[in-house]
Structure 1
Amino acid sequence: MNMFFIGVDLAWSERNSTGVAIIKSQKGSADFVCGTSDIYENSAIVDYIMAHTRGDHAFIAIDASLVVKNKTGEREAETRLKKMFAKYHAVPYPSNRDLFYRLYGGVRGEQITEMLEQKGFQHSPYIKKFEKSHKFFEVFPHSAMVVIFQLEQVLKYKARKKRSYTMRWQEFERYQGYLSSLQHRKPSLNLPYDILKTDVRALRGKALKRYEDLLDAVFCAYIAFYYWYEPEKCLVIGDLNDGYIVTPVFA
């Protein structure tokens, strides 16, 4: 039976597109299966995952807040992660129920959680090396990049004030290079040419955002693979009761 690893770069709401990527492993190496950044509804995300894994064992790493009990402020897991990674500029957005309901009408991570559980997946950040099961958990790609790629600061490819396209394109090219280097790592990931060699300088606006979402989904899938291959190099910050984040950490 195959072992699949799925990355989901979940948009804040169904109004925006989500990135999903699926890789398939043979122990220490994985190959890209498929990916999309043109998917919107929660049901479509879950259907895409189920259609391409077909009941085989799978771990899903989701870049989204899955457990949010606090009404205001931020989760304790976010506070702790900030203390660990602030010097690398790897800081998550604060999650609270008031914010999510005011801006998006609910906590989307909870909706996805319920739907995946109905499909037989267990929501659990606790796994064993080479475990064969169906689980999903929350991750934070920026802290994972800092550790896996040994960065002094996060890659600054996302749209922010005072970030020009030229700066972002340069950072995207670095991102492509780091993803390409994973073919020589353990565990290794082989990605297709058209993902790694996309001419980002020809992309702007929504086209660049779609490419960003696909790359982030690919990296989330690799985080799941990395965690499965070397769980001792990762940490569950927080818990299932009050919220958690899975991230690789420095030895």
Structure 2
Amino acid sequence: MNARKCRKGREKRMKSYLGIDAAWSENQPSALAVIDENEHLQGLYRSYEEVVGSIKKEGVKPKGSYPDFDKIFSYFKNQKMDIENIAVDMPVHPTNTGRRRGCDNQIASVFGKYGAATHSPNGKYPGDLGVKIHNQWKDLGYVWETLRQPKRKRVFFETYPHAAIIRYLKLDYRLAYKVSKMHAYWKTEIKEERKKRLIRNLNKLYDYCAGRI
């Protein structure tokens, strides 16, 4: 037997984990990141279309679209990214409840004092989009996990980055890091000072992540 073929046959595919900063509508782009089981970054994408190659990264502003996870996961598979778990920053309830849920209230009760209460889902945002994404992942063989520690293979679950950042960075208040909200964060500061403060906070977040990924 050819030694190279033998080695290839024994080659184990590394598990990967997908995180999605999901827009609650199809009009805005959603960012995706993939890391392997050793917490090494495998892929970073500014939109669903960027994953499947509908747009190029260079010089093109990302735009929103309806996700086709069959195509997205086919791409990941071709890139040897075997997605084990999916963490998404968006309600993906199996039904469009059209209202705030118990879990949203629980998070708000703990993190509200840090300025990190959750947004309320409604019939429009994310509305049916969350349900459709839920069903796509279910059809791909993933199970919706609502327990604290997922123990089953191939699961997807909701996550809340503000809460995670507060805990990991040991903050007294949520981190101001969104470019689009610079003015709201520091209304009395001049533009250059707002930029400096934003960059400082982004670097703080980057330094923490760089120590792990």
2:72 is aligned with 1:48: yes
Which residue number in structure 2 is paired with residue 148 of structure 1? 168
Residue among 17, 32, 42 paired with 1:5: 17
The offset of 1:41, in angstroms, is 3.1
1:108-134 deviation per Cα after TM superposition (whole angstroms, max 9, x unaligned): 1111111111111111133757x5721
Structure 2 residue runs without a partner (length 5+)? 1-12, 49-63
Which residue number in structure 1 is paired with residue 43 of structure 2? 34
SS across alignment from 1:59: strand
SS across alignment from 2:173: coil
1:172-229 deviation per Cα after TM superposition (whole angstroms, max 9, x unaligned): 4323333322344xxx32xxxxxxxxxxxxxxxxxxxxxxxxxxxxxxxxxxxxxxxx
* In structure 1, distance between residues paired with 2:136 and 2:129: 11
Which residue number in structure 2 is paired with residue 111 of structure 1? 132
Normalized per residue, the structure richer in strand is 1
Equivalences for residues 165-184 of structure 1 within 5 A: 166-167=193-194, 170-184=197-211
User: Would you say how many aligned residue pairs link Structure 1 and Structure 2?
Assistant: 176
TM-score by length of 2: 0.71
Indicate conservation of the 8 Å contact 2:33/2:43, yes or no.
yes
* In structure 1, distance between residues paired with 2:86 and 2:143: 10
Structure 1 pair 138–46 and aligned structure 2 pair: CA distance change class (3 A): farther
* In structure 2, distance between residues paired with 1:111 and 1:169: 40
The offset of 1:79, in angstroms, is 1.2
Indicate conservation of the 8 Å contact 2:76/2:82, yes or no.
no
SS across alignment from 2:184: coil
Letter aligned with residue 37 of structure 1: R
2:136 is aligned with 1:124: no
SS across alignment from 1:43: coil
Indicate conservation of the 8 Å contact 2:166/2:174, yes or no.
yes
Which residue number in structure 2 is paired with residue 24 of structure 1? 36
The offset of 1:56, in angstroms, is 2.6
Higher gyration radius (CA): 2
Of the structure 1 ranges 7-16 and 171-180, higher mean CA displacement relative to structure 2 is found in 171-180
1:78-99 deviation per Cα after TM superposition (whole angstroms, max 9, x unaligned): 11111101111111111122x4
Structure 1 pair 142–48 and aligned structure 2 pair: CA distance change class (3 A): same
* In structure 1, distance between residues paired with 2:81 and 2:41: 18
Structure 1 residue runs without a partner (length 5+)? 190-251
SS across alignment from 2:23: coil
Letter aligned with residue 140 of structure 2: K
* In structure 2, distance between residues paired with 1:168 and 1:108: 34
SS across alignment from 2:47: strand
The offset of 1:171, in angstroms, is 2.9
Structure 1 pair 35–48 and aligned structure 2 pair: CA distance change class (3 A): farther
* In structure 2, distance between residues paired with 1:5 and 1:85: 26
